[in-house]
Structure 1
Amino acid sequence: MNKHKITGVYSAAATPLNADGSPDLGLFTEHCQRLLSEGCHGVALLGTTGEANSFSSSERKAILEAALKAGIPADKLLPGTGVVAIQETVDLTKHALSLGVTKVVMLPPFYYKGVSDDGLFTAYSQILEKISDSKLHLILYHIPQVSGVPLSVPLIGRLIEAFPDTVVGIKESAGDFNNMQAIIAAYPGFSVLAGADPLLLPLLKAGGAGCITATSNLVAGSLRTVYDKVHDESGAEAVETAQARINAYRTLSNSYVQIPTIKAMVGLKTGNPAWKRTRAPLMPISDADYTSLADAYKTLP
């Protein structure tokens, strides 16, 4: 039996837009269904790659509701619900729970920088006490290079101790493998999920639980191969091939501004240029970069 409460390959799903900048709910749900069919255990919608912090609460709720209405099972959805205001985070999380979605990914309140562990502990505690729902499984979101607010290993321990049945995992998107190993060592059974695709393989070998990544929008099947076969000696060659493919797609997506590039690459994969649209302040990939990206995309394994 797996000791982790949350395991597997989850896609940090990109959010397509209509020409007027509103979320394209039909294209989004089609994308979610494709991700699941390609091997994702679930879809982590409304995260960094999904441009969540550029959407209003009502838009975020509509996107989650659309996924469920399209038949995506509630237990396969991990929406991001952490925003700057505590009460709004509570509201978004309660909304998810009301729809049967019990797993969420939660940023800390991130506007004020240099805040103490005591301040972050108090914020998360107030959020969870206001929600007060035993069904909730919370994945902390550590992405200090974007949020500016790191979650320290001792803080994670305080939250696990205070809310042992609720705080069950972390998306570690700092890309610091040593930090991932420190969390695994300190808190056995706590689900550590890689936010960087190339780290899924070493993380699983170190006792991690899986990943929530951007490149899974493109290579979900390869990530699933790594997850399924990492401990199977007979699958070593398949894992090596899958890892090389993951790294190639990740390297190309990081050759330009990542989120617009991931979206453009989904468009190249599906033949739908509508995927190039982004919401300001992010801008679509330039025409010149798109041309070189499309040429490079053709050469990927």
Structure 2
Amino acid sequence: MAKFEGVYVALVTPFTEDYEVDYKRLYEVCDWLIQEGINGLVPAGSLGEYATFSPEERAKVVETVIQAANGRVPVVVGSAAPSTKQAVQWVEHAKNAGAAGVMALPPINYKPLKNEILEHYKAINNVGIPIIAYNNPRDYPTDLTPDLLAEIAQFENVVAVKEFSGDIRRMHDILDRTNLEVMVGVDNLALEGPMIGATGWISGVPNALPREGVQLFKLAKEGKIDEALPLYRRQLPLFHYDASPQLVQYIKYMMELAGQPVGPSRPPRLPLSQEEYESVRKDFKRAVEIVHQ
């Protein structure tokens, strides 16, 4: 059985209208997502706007999510930071707070050499908590290729990879060349990924449509394609927003449409245009109409 199986929601962070973290709302959203059937929670990722947090905020966000989960589902904590030392400190904090694992990017500030990438993961591995390596060559300078992942996978605590390249062939190569669990990293492969062996999905849009995301992933994993396809195709326009640089604003607006408002995004992220919001609203309405039929 996979260690990180099913739909893990990459959490947004609720803010008040004056851009303070709304911890009470964060707790409520986590509780709602668990009641809707999601399989795990991932705080302090890019969708959660971790880079805008003070250290105190980041620690309290992680602790709030773990308290809200209360052992009902696993919590996997984002550990990205400018230096290996800082990343290790956040991994240690996650472990001490009771997290089930961490999601770990390679060095993020420049294009590192191979030996630097391996030393970075070695340092995180030494903390002693399960690790999901995070490959996101769209937004960061490093591409964790299947061959490189095979080397990273030699560290005993590296058990999975969040694959965000957007290329389904990468998942095939990783499954063929490594012993890692593969977790879909970009929402618009939520059908294809489980069909070919991905055991998990670290998801964005299921912040707003958790029950529908869980249903889609389960059907795809079970090979029930005739049932999965209508759900997938109607949600696919929403899934495409997850691969946009403005994914935070898009998904927060989807949550508002779903009756789960979470406030604004922190600057430098600003509100989108009315045309963009209208596009999301139309796509959301279409998705909800089909899944509730």
Distance of 1:157 and 1:168 partners within structure 2: 11
Corresponding letter in the other structure for 2:31: Q
Question: Given the alignment of the two structures, is residue 180 of structure 1 paired with residue 177 of structure 2, yes or no?
Answer: no
Distance of 2:34 and 2:9 partners within structure 1: 9
Partner of 1:21: 19
* C-alpha distance 75-91 of structure 1, shift in aligned 2 (>3 A): farther
TM normalised by structure 1 equals 0.87
Question: Given the alignment of the two structures, is residue 219 of structure 1 paired with residue 206 of structure 2, yes or no?
Answer: no
State whether residues 37 and 214 of structure 2, in contact with CA within 8 Å, keep that contact through their aligned partners in structure 1: yes
* C-alpha distance 254-90 of structure 1, shift in aligned 2 (>3 A): closer
Question: Given the alignment of the two structures, is residue 298 of structure 1 paired with residue 288 of structure 2, yes or no?
Answer: no
Q: Percent identity?
A: 25
Partner of 2:135: 142
Shift in Å at residue 260 of structure 1? 0.6
Distance of 1:7 and 1:249 partners within structure 2: 23
Shift in Å at residue 241 of structure 1? 2.8
**Structure 1 residue ranges without an equivalent (≥5):** none
Please give the secondary structure, in 1, of the residue aligned with 2:24. Answer: helix
Shift in Å at residue 245 of structure 1? 3.4
Partner of 1:282: 269
Distance of 2:34 and 2:173 partners within structure 1: 31
Distance of 1:22 and 1:152 partners within structure 2: 38
More divergent stretch after superposition (224-233 vs 92-101)? 224-233
Distance of 1:78 and 1:142 partners within structure 2: 16
Shift in Å at residue 11 of structure 1? 0.9
Please give the secondary structure, in 2, of the residue aligned with 1:192. Answer: strand
State whether residues 159 and 181 of structure 2, in contact with CA within 8 Å, keep that contact through their aligned partners in structure 1: yes
* C-alpha distance 284-180 of structure 1, shift in aligned 2 (>3 A): same
Please give the secondary structure, in 2, of the residue aligned with 1:148. Answer: coil
TM normalised by structure 2 equals 0.89
State whether residues 219 and 246 of structure 1, in contact with CA within 8 Å, keep that contact through their aligned partners in structure 2: no
Partner of 1:159: 152
Question: Given the alignment of the two structures, is residue 191 of structure 1 paired with residue 188 of structure 2, yes or no?
Answer: no
Distance of 1:218 and 1:257 partners within structure 2: 16
State whether residues 78 and 103 of structure 1, in contact with CA within 8 Å, keep that contact through their aligned partners in structure 2: yes
Distance of 2:246 and 2:91 partners within structure 1: 30
Shift in Å at residue 29 of structure 1? 1.6
**Structure 2 residue ranges without an equivalent (≥5):** none
State whether residues 130 and 158 of structure 2, in contact with CA within 8 Å, keep that contact through their aligned partners in structure 1: yes
Please give the secondary structure, in 1, of the residue aligned with 2:253. Answer: helix
* C-alpha distance 62-183 of structure 1, shift in aligned 2 (>3 A): same
Distance of 1:35 and 1:267 partners within structure 2: 14
Distance of 1:288 and 1:208 partners within structure 2: 35
State whether residues 75 and 103 of structure 1, in contact with CA within 8 Å, keep that contact through their aligned partners in structure 2: no
Question: Given the alignment of the two structures, is residue 120 of structure 1 paired with residue 120 of structure 2, yes or no?
Answer: no
State whether residues 171 and 195 of structure 1, in contact with CA within 8 Å, keep that contact through their aligned partners in structure 2: yes
State whether residues 75 and 101 of structure 2, in contact with CA within 8 Å, keep that contact through their aligned partners in structure 1: yes
Shift in Å at residue 49 of structure 1? 1.1
For residues 1-301 of structure 1, what are the structure 2 equivalents within 5 Å? 2=1, 4-73=2-71, 75-113=73-111, 115-129=112-126, 131=127, 133=128, 136-161=129-154, 163-164=155-156, 166-188=157-179, 190-230=180-220, 232=222, 235-251=224-240, 257-270=246-259, 272=261, 275-300=262-287, 301=289
Distance of 2:122 and 2:276 partners within structure 1: 45
1:36-55 deviations in whole A, cap 9, x for unaligned?
22221011111121111222
State whether residues 264 and 285 of structure 1, in contact with CA within 8 Å, keep that contact through their aligned partners in structure 2: no
State whether residues 46 and 60 of structure 1, in contact with CA within 8 Å, keep that contact through their aligned partners in structure 2: yes
